[in-house]
């Protein structure tokens, strides 16, 4: 169980397009049981496994240390995004669920995001003695999907069981150019907002008998596009609002449409909340005769630099010779939920090929990452928190 390459191959070979369930969790359970972990698996969500609305499978595993010892958690996801076409122009060179070595690279969907990191976590704990402290795994099958019944359900389970990690490390692929150059100590929040303006359909030659919603929507989007949210903070880049969709579904050149819709996405720093931004957008929409329906998918968070980040940075530097940049850039992750449980930092493999065809990880990076994770676990279990 100390060889992350063979473990990664087993996980990649278990097809697990989001929402994941079944075989990939069977593999992980089989890896953890010989290491002394008690494994609990459960499902959440609507429908049944195999139906159109599948339930999400989750796994919580724990190996308890001495009474009163620290508790360090590894977290991640076993689900992967759909691989896309296989073969031909623009398709995968090989089957994405048949791991294949080519030189120093291991190819397969999830090699980077994030079955490779989970394999390194498992290999890492094989080298952590049980008397060092308590270690757990918080693993979901619904990170790449809606994330409604995954990590949040795991948090509910831990709270119901009275389980509280002291620190948590999420294995998202955070490295950019080479393993070790970046870790994430926070993330911006995210809110998507659906906009709508109702009008009255009519003939373009008789505009007095119609009400064109498009000028109102254009005015609304213009004001939103020019909205200055902030200039950033010490640890966060400026918040940004992007128009991601504009549609009137009008295929006729001589018809004034009955409705215009649009969607915006805002990634925001800790100067805002999802609620405050939603309120602002709703008011602007109403001003232009429209409506806004916000869906908040995450709030910003920061694990302030300190003992945890210093320890992890040293573990990375000791194995790679690189001092990682502490960043809050990029998209959201399940760390946005886990931060409500304990301080959380993200660190993992190079992200250049994640979600792409021919996703691949450098096999030496898997071995190095396992050693970093071993150092991180030992360091976290000895920190005063």
Q: Cα(first)–Cα(last) distance of the chain, in Å? A: 30
Would strands 344-346 and 325-327 be described as parallel, antiparallel, or unpaired? unpaired
CA 134 to chain centre: 25
Sheet holding 71-77, edge to edge: 38-44, 56-63, 134-140, 71-77, 167-170, 344-346, 182-184, 325-327
3-state helix, strand, coil in the chain (%, to 5): 30, 25, 45
The DSSP result for 228-262, as a single string, is: ------SSSPPPEEEEEEEE-----TTEE-SEEEE
Q: What's the rounded Cα separation, in Å, for the pair 176 and 156?
A: 33
Check if the beta carbon of residue 255 is closer than 8 Å to that of residue 200: no
Residue numbers in the known binding site are: 77, 113, 144, 172, 355
- Verify whether residue 79 is a known catalytic residue: yes
What the block records as the tokens of 286 is: 């109403």
What the block records as the tokens of 22 is: 């079944």
What the block records as the tokens of 56 is: 């999400």
Q: State the helix-helix crossing angle for 115-125 and 4-13, rounded to 10 degrees.
A: 140
Nearest-CA neighbor of 301 among 330, 344, 239? 344
Among 27, 79, 142, 346, which one carries the catalytic annotation?
79
H-type alpha helices, the chain = 4-13, 23-32, 115-125, 151-161, 214-225, 274-287, 307-320, 335-338, 363-381
Residue numbers in the known binding site for Zn(2+) are: 77, 113, 144, 172, 355
Check if the beta carbon of residue 75 is closer than 8 Å to that of residue 343: no
Where in the sequence numbering do the catalytic residues fall? 79, 143
């Amino acid at each position: 169980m100390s060889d992350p390459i063979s473990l990664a191959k087993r996980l990649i070979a278990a097809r697990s397009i989001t929402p994941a369930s079944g075989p990939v969790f069977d593999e992980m359970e089989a890896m953890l049981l010989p290491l002394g972990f008690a494994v609990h698996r459960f499902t959440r969500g609507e429908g049944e496994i195999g139906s159109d609305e599948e339930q999400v499978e989750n796994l919580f595993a724990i190996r308890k240390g001495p009474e009163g010892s620290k508790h360090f958690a590894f977290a991640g996801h076993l689900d992967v995004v759909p691989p896309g076409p296989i073969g031909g122009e623009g398709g995968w060179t090989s089957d994405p669920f048949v791991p294949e070595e080519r030189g120093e690279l291991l190819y397969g969907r999830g090699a980077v995001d994030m079955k490779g990191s989970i394999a390194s976590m498992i290999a890492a704990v094989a080298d952590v003695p049980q008397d060092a402290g308590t270690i757990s795994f918080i693993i979901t099958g619904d990170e790449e999907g809606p994330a409604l019944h995954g990590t949040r359900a795991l948090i509910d389970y831990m709270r119901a069981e009275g389980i509280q990690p002291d620190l948590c490390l999420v294995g998202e692929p955070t490295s950019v150019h080479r393993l070790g150059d970046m870790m994430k100590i926070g993330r911006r929040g995210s809110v998507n907002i659906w906009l709508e303006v109702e009008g009255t359909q009519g003939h373009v030659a008789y505009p007095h008998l119609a009400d064109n919603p498009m000028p109102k929507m254009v005015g609304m989007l213009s004001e939103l596009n020019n909205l200055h949210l902030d200039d950033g903070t010490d640890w966060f880049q400026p918040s940004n609002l992007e128009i991601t969709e504009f549609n009137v579904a009008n295929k006729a050149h001589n018809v004034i449409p009955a409705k215009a819709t649009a969607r915006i996405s805002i990634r925001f720093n800790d100067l805002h909340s999802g609620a405050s931004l939603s309120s602002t957008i709703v008011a602007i929409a109403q001003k232009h005769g429209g409506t806004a329906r916000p869906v908040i998918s995450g709030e910003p968070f920061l694990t302030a630099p300190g003992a945890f980040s210093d320890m992890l940075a040293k573990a990375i530097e000791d194995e790679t010779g690189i001092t990682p940049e502490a960043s809050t850039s990029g998209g959201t992750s399940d760390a946005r939920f886990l931060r409500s449980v304990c301080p959380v930092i993200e660190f993992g493999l190079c992200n250049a090929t994640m979600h792409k065809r021919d996703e691949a990880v450098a096999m030496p990076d898997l071995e190095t990452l396992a050693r970093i994770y071993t150092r991180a676990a030992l360091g976290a279990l000895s920190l005063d928190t």
